[in-house]
Amino acid sequence: MTTPEFGKGFDTRAIHAGQEFDPTTGAVIPPVYLTSTYVQDGIGGLRNGYEYSRGGNPTRTALETQLASLEGGIRGLSFASGLAAEDALLRTVLVPGDHVVIGNDVYGGTHRLIRRIFGDWGIRHSTVDTSDLDAVRAAIELGTTKVLWVETPSNPLMKISDVAALAELGYEAGVLVVVDNTFASPALQQPLALGADVVIHSTTKYLGGHSDIVGGGLVFAAGQEELAERVTFTQFAAGAVSSPFDAFLTSRGIKTLGIRMQRHSQNALAIARRLEEHAGIEHVFYPGLESHPGHQLAARQMSGFGGMVSISLTGGAGAARRFAESTTLFQLAESLGGVESLVNYPSEMTHASVRGTEAEVPESVVRLSVGIEDVDDLLADIDEALARL
């Protein structure tokens, strides 16, 4: 659905876009439309365009309006998962023989989808460091490369890529530039305003924010109306839609996204600085640190540095595993972006599927999703875990 022109600040749009009160009762929170179908006013007489909930549902429409408004796009789509959103976009854009350029540090599921599912369909891909513009330029095959896939910050090594420069490369080569904005969220980064064509989200993460839903989203830039229509048809025809209740929970989470991201960022920076001082830590990957090679770029294209911190331990795989299994407040689990802090060992968890590829994650790396708990408690948990190494 096209976003209304609120002309308001981010937090105002997060709370109000698509969230008009119920005109029948005046309820401040729009009802959740738990329905599969809709009564028609005669054959083909659809009420507000609703026919069957695979094709459209008012609760999902409300979320899609929110997503489009927050990312500054012309249309948002809500999916059953982030990978469902990726699949629908790629299936719409690609045909056998096409080529994709993807970063060498991306979510393992994205790499698996492109390498194994689309690879079996005849799609080729090149894996490069998207923070290296020359490497990206060299990897693009004129006429064959159809998609440049960018994560910034990347997962899990927190590489920062120049969205505006990559968008310019894509425009010159006729390549669709897709930015996975999951780690930053629209509260901290606006890829469409920097020239990207499509933004993708795992709404499971920061947008939902409470680890209680699985979902995905796409937002299309102005000028991509035709593509948005085509992907909408793919979603309708293949059926990868979010449920009304998941859409409602995501919308509810989005309303506090701005203030949550501020706290995530504050806590993460404090933890990154503490970790940087510890002899058992070989390297801290966090763009908020002045030592990060992408710090200056991140400061230009982001309004905050986010809640994700990765570390490489000097003791290698053994130390990394012991650390990941020693924290208390940081719970050992997949996923990220919830209000609670999580610790993850990518090599055997989220990125196990990319072992042996160019996107393989070092075994010494641990990823932290820093929550919004009291920072002193989180620091104490980190200190105690490090003391057990």
> Active-site positions?
54, 107, 180, 205
Residues 383 and 329: beta-carbon distance below 8 Å: no
Contacts of 129 (CB under 8 A, 6+ apart): 103, 104, 105, 135, 159
Half-sphere exposure of 26 (CA within 13 A, CB side): 0
Instruction: Give the Cβ contact number of residue 238 at 10 Å.
Output: 14
The token pair at 160 is 């920062």
Residues 98 and 74: beta-carbon distance below 8 Å: no
Distance (Å, whole) CA 15 – CA 255: 5
Q: How far is CA 146 from CA 83, 115, 136, 149, in A?
A: 19, 15, 13, 10
Distance (Å, whole) CA 67 – CA 300: 23
For 274, counting Cβ atoms within 10 Å of its Cβ (0-12 exposed, 13-18 middle, 19+ buried), the class is middle
Half-sphere exposure of 275 (CA within 13 A, CB side): 30
Distance (Å, whole) CA 112 – CA 130: 18
Distance (Å, whole) CA 99 – CA 125: 5
Residues 98 and 123: beta-carbon distance below 8 Å: yes
Distance (Å, whole) CA 118 – CA 256: 36
Helices (H), ranges, 39-177: 58-71, 82-93, 108-112, 133-139, 163-173
